[in-house]
Amino acid sequence: MPLPYTLLSCAISADGYLDDASPDRLILSGSEDLDRVDELRASCDAVLVGAGTVRADNPRLLIRSPERQQARTARGLPPHPLRVTVTRGGDLDPQANIFTGPGGPALVYGPLSPRDGAVVADVRDPLSLRSVLSDLTKRGVARLLIEGGSHVLTKVLEEDLASELHLAMAPFFVGELAAPRFVIPGKYPQSGTNPMTLAEVRRVGQMSVSHYLLGLGGPDERYLAWAVELSRQCPPSRTAFSVGAVIVAADGAVLSTGYSREEEPADHAEEVALRKLGALSSAGGAPPRHPDPRLRGATIYSSMVPCGARASRPVTCVRHIAQAGIPRVVYAMPEPPLFAPGDGADKLRALGVEVTELPDLAPRATAINAHLLASR
């Protein structure tokens, strides 16, 4: 059983600190960045922080936006993700926000006296984060957000358990040796010979946010794993697959992303990603007028092979991709012949497109569509 897809999110100063050395909490994030984190939380099944973060910051770990709460409820999810913490000594205030908020009982790994608002997990080694993630999988957590602190972040990175890192940098320095840093000295697999993959850098208010992809393998595996995760955001459907797509330029720049039904009910993931670039052919099949020139050297990563036949619209994703001039497609799972023959890979190759299948990622993509495939 795969571990949860794990995202790390934290805000740091320009010199890499999570806080200063004063007894008062240092505010690093502005309102725009807090909204970005709220969006991340809303996309996850659980949010985890270490006991030190519970004591120092007393976070609520709830979704702020009522609209995002309602969107989760509409998908059959609770309005707030599961709140999780790990503790070595169990010395946590019973009145801490993690235990008293409206999001249901918190899940605690480690010794803790019985109290309202908490469920203590029974695992053999509660301080092994791999054991924690394995137990969370058994509890139905497929997507996990970890927000700190430095010891937890260090351990997750050392054990290579994270798939994404969202690092927000504030425009000032702390410069205090006694202040807590983003990570502490450790043996990191994300070394100079195995660097993280930079997916995106953007401005959020007065902060810069860098989005990195981590995990085993190289860029192909990481971009495709991200595409698979995007498919988890698809509005539910009993008559169409959930698929995610990422288009990446030859220099590694992410050009666009998309997922099924993101903008319109009949949308395929590849369609959405191409439409955002102005590279979608018309219903009659005419080529786009002004496609992004970077598409000529790009790769499209899709959690399922692009469709070679479809009933919902006259132009297939195979044809859209070929007309946009994309020379390479990487996918995780074949299209089961449930709604169409599933011959997209053969049709792409016949058009001169290089096609690569990475079957190691197929189980995760398949699981997201399990409700359609259970009877087959």
Which residue, of 213, 242, 277, is where some domain finishes?
213
Number of domains in the chain: 2
The predicted structure's pLDDT at residue 307: 96
Range of the domain at 313: 219-373
What digits encode the pLDDT tens for the residues 289-347? 667 899 999 999 999 999 999 988 999 999 999 999 999 999 999 999 888 888 999 99
| CATH number of the domain residue 311 falls in | 3.40.140.10
CA atoms within 13 A on the CB side of 218: 3
Closest C-alpha to 98, from 40, 31, 44, 46: 46
Which residue, of 151, 186, 213, is where some domain finishes?
213
The predicted structure's pLDDT at residue 290: 65
Beta bridge partners of 5: 143
The ranges of the chain with pLDDT < 50 are: 284
The predicted structure's pLDDT at residue 78: 96
| Residues 157 and 34 placed together within one structural domain of the fold | yes
Residue 235 in tokens: 């509005």
Which residue, of 182, 213, 244, is where some domain finishes?
213
The predicted structure's pLDDT at residue 145: 98
| Residues 181 and 263 placed together within one structural domain of the fold | no
With 0.95 as the threshold, say if the pTM is over it.
Answer: no
The predicted structure's pLDDT at residue 284: 46
| Residues 24 and 105 placed together within one structural domain of the fold | yes
| CATH number of the domain residue 33 falls in | 3.40.430.10
| Residues 157 and 291 placed together within one structural domain of the fold | no
Backbone phi, then psi, for 124, in 5-degree steps?
-65, -45
- Rounded to an integer, what distance in angstroms lies between the CA atom of residue 194 and that of residue 224? 18
- Rounded to an integer, what distance in angstroms lies between the CA atom of residue 130 and that of residue 114? 25
